[in-house]
Amino acid sequence: MSKELLLQEFAEAYDHLMETASLAAQRGVTQGRDGWGPREIVGHLAGWEVMARVRIPRIVAGMPPAEFTDPTQQTMMNDAINAAMVTLIGEQPLENLCDMLRHAYQRNIELLRSLDDTFFQPGDYVYERTKAVIEHCQEHMPKQLLTGRTFLSKNGCRRRNEPALTLAAGLLEDRAQWCCSTASIARSSCAKESHALFNGKFMDKVSMEGVTSAAVSPYRERPLSMM
């Protein structure tokens, strides 16, 4: 994948996530049992992009990326960083947080465009980190949709007093269309992915009394070297 195409997908991933978050908020999705909703997702992503602005120039200059060999340490550090970011956003409205994320990622695109094309080869930190961000945004999409009380049956879905399930179905379909607009994913695989996300990944984690904590727990960030 060319440098420019990768950066285009990077920008589109963040724009699409923010659009999804805004629509989810408009439909009444606020927070799950873990306290995470559209605001928290957008806010913590903005924080990781600000961190990247400091980290990328130093890593490109030769500093080794921060890595943990112990997965427990990795999880602890990521959880601590996420908790700090979510706390620091306070009660800021989603619109403000989207502005912060947009500003942060656009500054990083300017930085990335200034780098030599040799940094955009598979296996290089810059390339792998940029790809990881795109995947990270995609992973957050369905999570922020299933926030709220949703009631399901074995043979299908039914909702009561909450918009989350309808929103999830509609935006997962939209997510499939978005994936298919990129050069790297075919339409058939996108449709299968969205179907699997909705019917497999989440159906088995939802109870008759609402979305379980497993379905809405804060997403554990990728290794620090990738973020």
Count Cα neighbours of 115 within 13 Å in the Cβ-side half-sphere: 24
pLDDT at 177: 52
For the residues of 64-123, what is the DSSP string, one character each? PPP--SSHHHHHHHHHHHHHHHHHHTTT--HHHHHHHHHHHHHHHHHHHHTS-GGGSSTT
Average pLDDT for runs of 10 along the chain of length 227: 95 95 88 78 96 96 89 92 94 96 98 97 96 92 52 37 45 50 43 40 34 37 57
pLDDT at 43: 96
pLDDT at 154: 34
pLDDT at 216: 35
Residue boundaries of the structural domains of the chain = 3-226
- Cβ–Cβ < 8 Å for 82, 224: no
Q: Which two tokens stand for residue 107?
A: 């500054």
Tokens 């700090």, residue located: 84
C-alpha to C-alpha distance for 65 and 227, rounded to whole angstroms: 10
C-alpha to C-alpha distance for 42 and 181, rounded to whole angstroms: 23
